[in-house]
Amino acid sequence: MSSSSFYPLLVIFSIFTTCWGVKSSDSSSRPPEKIGAGYSLLSVEETGDGGLLGLLEVNKKNSVYGPDIKHLQLYIKHETEQRLRVHITDATKPRWEVPYNLLPRSSPPSLKKALPKSRKRKAPILVTPMEYSGSELIFSFTANPFGFAVRRKSNNDVLFNTTSSSSSAFNNLVFKDQYLEVSTSLPSSASLYGLGENTQPHGIKIRPNEPYTLYTTDASAINLNTDLYGAHPVYMDLRNLNGKAFAHGVLLLNSNGMDVVYRGDSLTYKVIGGVLDFYFFAGESPLAVVDQYTESIGRPAPMPYWAFGFHQCRWGYHNLSVVEDVVANYEKAKIPLDVIWNDDDHMDFHKDFTLNPIAYPRKKLEAFLDRIHSKGMKYIVLIDPGIAVNSSYGVYNRAMADDVFIKYEGEPYLAQVWPGAVYFPDFLNPKTVSWWGDEIKRFHEMVPVDGLWIDMNEASNFCSGKCVIPQGIKCPSVTGPGWECCLDCKNITKTRWDDPPYKINASGKVAPIGFKTIATSASHYNGVLEYDAHSIYGFSQAVATHKALESLQGKRPFILSRSTFVGSGKYAAHWTGDNQGTWNDLRYSISTMLNFGIFGVPMVGSDICGFYPQPTEELCNRWIELGAFYPFSRDHANYYSPRQELYQWATVAESARNALGMRYKLLPYLYSLSYEAHVSGAPIARPLFFTFPNYAECYGLSTQFLLGRSVMVSPVLEQGATNVTALFPPGSWYSMFDMSHVVDSKEGANVTLDAPLHVVNVHVYQNSIIPMQQGGLISKEARMTPFTLVVTFPVGAEEADAEGSLFLDEDELPEMKLGNDKSTLVNFYASLSKKAVKVWSKVQEGDFALTKGWAIEKLTVLGLDGVTAAGLELMIDGNPVFDLPDVEIATTDHNFVAKDDEDVTMKSLMVEIKGLNIRVGKNFAMSWKMGVSG
């Protein structure tokens, strides 16, 4: 980190609002009632770690949402060249923060000791405004009322500004025990993304005046603009300044419930507890923002190779024979399948870590797993956090003996989920983490599962309040749907934790924050309140589950979690929860997937064909064509819906073979993207603006997406459509299904593409090298087939370059890295200059790949001008190869797909060289000079 500076600005105060971008609200709009008069900065000093430590005092007390906290501690630190932290808390006593052992980060200095002893107000510092400068960001502040701004050093653009005026639509800083409010002014031209989890019907771009509430809730994904399973208080701000894009990120690290109000020219946080712990990430590119963000919160977890295969699940596989039949039918239909899942059907009366002795007898299940494991297939089951209250249940008895449950008034808090009455483990308790690991180990010894699915961990509760088990009534009944509350319960409203003064828009209807979850006055380890820790419950369970699985056999864990928080991507994948089999839900799934890439959870997908009710045949066709390109690709259906495995309809089976066939050819590319995600946070599925940040036309695009930098998916999202209009940013785009077809978009254009029922349009961008294999019905087999390199140049270019990469490793090792003798990284390069083409590689640690025998069998080069096969003079490592009998060279004219009003007269060729045998782990160089066609 470069040195920082702290100095007064000798400027005229009247220019402060102009230079720092404070906007006055529309004079015709009436500003809301103000809460308080903010704080004054009494003192500020440098700290030993190069930061600043300040003391704030409230200007005027008021009682709205409770009394103000009189003195606040302010800590500011440029933690890296690109990351700035602003931390504000009570100066007199500790407040709740996301536990530092759960989400590792630097601790602020200890609380200030020297507070004003006199009731007489101490004069604030007089020099204002002031600056604290880092390499990329500058922190500025005023003393009274206290406000701060963060601006970019390179262009002086104000990124965040909390200063409020009398005409502003927001308050100065408010800091009470159960209500924190802080706002920033924003340019109306800023494009914002993030603030989830919610289903955004209008796409990925945050829209003014729509609700953004962050509080983990078991509200199905069909609910629009509602707080759902995860809480991610982070957003990315993308601004286009005179044609050049600048992106930055803002995280408010706080696990308490909050409403975030975006008005178009300002954004306000209304938080019901905790501290204000802001992190600002300088960017400047969208990829750089996610890199800096995941560097802070934890890099995404490495995924095993098989996780990128196709997964099949259903709630309602009533016995093992049904599961065996599903696997057999996928094989019969020749549809790829890597992983078969069980929801809770395998359990004995819905109890975790058990087997139904009749439906899933252990011996028969072991034999089934032996068979699928021998093929390379995997098996994953669900576990819920609620532990059945049952004295004949060993898991429960061991948990009671270890005292691992969340408490209410000194006793385990009673709730209801699928087994009936349950207690919830407290994963903030170290004893619980050990007990949980022991139960997973015991279960794994009985059933050698390959991963775990942690569901219902918001935490979901079918009841609310304080409950007791009813006498003389079977709970749950065997005839009802199972989710109706059958405990005897009373509402809990007697504490300020259960009924806080400010009501967030929980569940989209201002529901009590303890509604259908754990009572917020219940307590965790060391007296931590559920009120504070609620939204990290699923995160803490994922951390404990990851630790348990990693210790089993030293393998790379695979965990799928419904509830997520900041940092969850370091431990788990995510699916977007209970969606519907509708065309709208098909479309919504893209936005949610793209948001989770920004959140640092790149392994994400939605239930293909919808969770309920049964989709139409046409919809399921279109959904597998899209879902085949989710990072996490799984078909999952509801207990009460008809069967919807991909082979159930002949047309869907055909679409699946087509789309999943391409996915399995792209597995080496997807797996290499997962390595990129693990080392830099880069999303696997990305909005188009990640590659084309200067192309403002794609800022709100939510109907297409990129895999990595180069592969664009443009699915059909409308009923009855047989074509799709897709946006093509400037450049040459080649069809992955027929590489002779190209869209050459000089300045960017919307192009209508044919898309009959079994067709999904996937294109690869120019200047790319994509490693592919031949595919197969299972990733283990597909992984050992020969490689093809697809090289894309701009159509007709005389000078051009292309590049790509390939990461290979023993994919079940816990770590995904170089330097362990079990991995290889190959960087591919290509150049086109003066009718000469060169393709070469630079290999890091090639021994691993060489031991596997991987070879490049085919090279496809797209976008060449005026080539004839007869004119090619092919050289590999300096040696001519025309005398090699297996090498075949062919050329094909490109077919141009144009805009409706465009007349295409260009000519370009595809060159394919087959029969090569180039070892993947060894550097190579291939070149040729092109003959010119007459």
Active site residues: 455, 458, 578
Q: Give every CB contact of residue 19 below 8 A, 6+ residues apart in sequence.
A: 11, 156
Instruction: Confirm if 188 and 264 have CB atoms less than 8 A apart.
Output: yes
* Amino acid in the structure at residue 902: E
Instruction: Confirm if 160 and 184 have CB atoms less than 8 A apart.
Output: yes
Per DSSP, 300 falls in state P
Largest CA distance in the chain: 96
Instruction: Confirm if 604 and 594 have CB atoms less than 8 A apart.
Output: no
What span, in angstroms and rounded, lies between the C-alpha atoms of 826 and 828?
A: 6
Residue 9 region by backbone torsions, left for phi larger than 0, else alpha for psi between -120 and 50, else beta:
beta
Per DSSP, 523 falls in state B
Instruction: Confirm if 806 and 895 have CB atoms less than 8 A apart.
Output: no
SS3 588: helix
Instruction: Confirm if 88 and 77 have CB atoms less than 8 A apart.
Output: no
First to last CA, the chain: 59
Q: Give every CB contact of residue 648 below 8 A, 6+ residues apart in sequence.
A: none
What span, in angstroms and rounded, lies between the C-alpha atoms of 65 and 61?
A: 12
At CA 543, angle to CA 541 and CA 549, rounded to 5?
A: 100
SS3 712: strand
For 15-102, where are the E strands, in sequence order? 39-46, 52-58, 71-78, 83-90
What span, in angstroms and rounded, lies between the C-alpha atoms of 737 and 895?
A: 13
Burial class (CB in 10 A: 0-12, 13-18, 19+), 501: middle
SS3 591: helix
Alpha-carbon torsion, ordered 249, 252, 256, 258, to 10 deg: -70
Per DSSP, 529 falls in state B
SS3 608: strand
What span, in angstroms and rounded, lies between the C-alpha atoms of 216 and 228?
A: 6
Instruction: Confirm if 747 and 694 have CB atoms less than 8 A apart.
Output: no
In 3D, which of 526, 470, 517 has the Cα closest to residue 492? Answer: 517
In 3D, which of 617, 606, 605 has the Cα closest to residue 642? Answer: 617
Instruction: Please give, one letter per residue, the 3-state secondary structure of 353-388.
Output: CCCCCCCCCHHHHHHHHHHHHHHCCEEEEEECCCEE
Peptide bond into 211 cis (omega under 30): no
Which residues lie across from 90 on neighbouring strands?
A: 72
What span, in angstroms and rounded, lies between the C-alpha atoms of 631 and 672?
A: 12
Residue 763's CB is within 10 A of a number of other CB atoms, namely: 26
Peptide bond into 145 cis (omega under 30): yes
What span, in angstroms and rounded, lies between the C-alpha atoms of 838 and 827?
A: 14
* Amino acid in the structure at residue 673: L
Please provide the DSSP assignment of 133-174 as one string: E-SSEEEEEEETTEEEEEEETTT--EEEE----TT-SS-S-E
Instruction: Confirm if 644 and 615 have CB atoms less than 8 A apart.
Output: yes
At CA 422, angle to CA 417 and CA 423, rounded to 5?
A: 125
> Which residue shows structure tokens 């529309």?
26
What span, in angstroms and rounded, lies between the C-alpha atoms of 823 and 921?
A: 10
